[in-house]
């Protein structure tokens, strides 16, 4: 599963307001609720699942990237939201650098292979310096989505 498969323009926040990883996770989950990707009543349980995973080890993988994720039985398909912080978020990343791109995704419970495959695809794409720079410089969510779609084809 590729990034373009799980993101629509509505799931891209070009100006994250979060200052740390917990606020970023809350903001992105709020987006998933607002766009109908997760039920409002499931917000707390989904947030707890993502934060539990994040507490075990930061998903700030370096290069200004954070990929918080979790499995949950509260969804039936992979969903995600992407946030961009112009100033950077303290994500307690492995390289101690601020995170500018935060890609949160959720996978249905029990789909371990899909979870690993999705994580690998997202990480591989975000590790490309040219792709990250394009996203960081894009004017808005629509431009960001076009970049994602274009790079997904390469």
CATH of the domain at 74: 3.40.930.10
Give residue 22's pLDDT.
97
Q: Is 69 a catalytic residue?
A: yes
d(CA 31, CA 128): 26
Structural contact between residues 148 and 113, judged by C-beta atoms closer than 8 angstroms: no
Q: How many CB atoms lie within 10 A of CB 60?
A: 26
Helix (H/G/I), strand (E/B), else coil: 33? helix
- From the candidates 69, 115, 117, 151, which is the catalytic residue? 69
pTM of the model: 0.94
The segments of the chain whose pLDDT lies below 50 read: none
Give residue 3's pLDDT.
87
d(CA 17, CA 85): 7
Give residue 154's pLDDT.
56
**Residue 136 sits in which domain range?**
3-152
Give the total number of structural domains in the chain. Answer: 1
């Amino acid at each position: 599963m590729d990034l373009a498969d799980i993101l629509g323009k509505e799931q891209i926040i070009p100006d994250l307001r979060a200052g740390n990883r917990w606020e970023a996770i809350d903001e992105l989950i709020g987006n998933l609720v607002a766009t109908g990707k997760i039920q409002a009543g499931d917000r707390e349980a989904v947030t707890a699942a993502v934060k539990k995973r994040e507490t075990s080890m930061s998903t700030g993988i370096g290069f200004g990237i954070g990929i918080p994720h979790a499995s949950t039985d509260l969804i039936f398909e992979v969903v995600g939201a992407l946030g961009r912080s112009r100033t950077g978020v303290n994500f307690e990343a492995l390289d101690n650098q601020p995170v500018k791109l935060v890609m949160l995704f959720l996978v249905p419970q029990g789909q371990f292979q899909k979870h690993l495959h999705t994580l690998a695809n997202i990480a591989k794409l975000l590790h490309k310096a040219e792709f990250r720079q394009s996203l960081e410089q894009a004017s808005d969510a629509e431009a960001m989505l076009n970049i994602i779609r274009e790079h997904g084809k390469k």
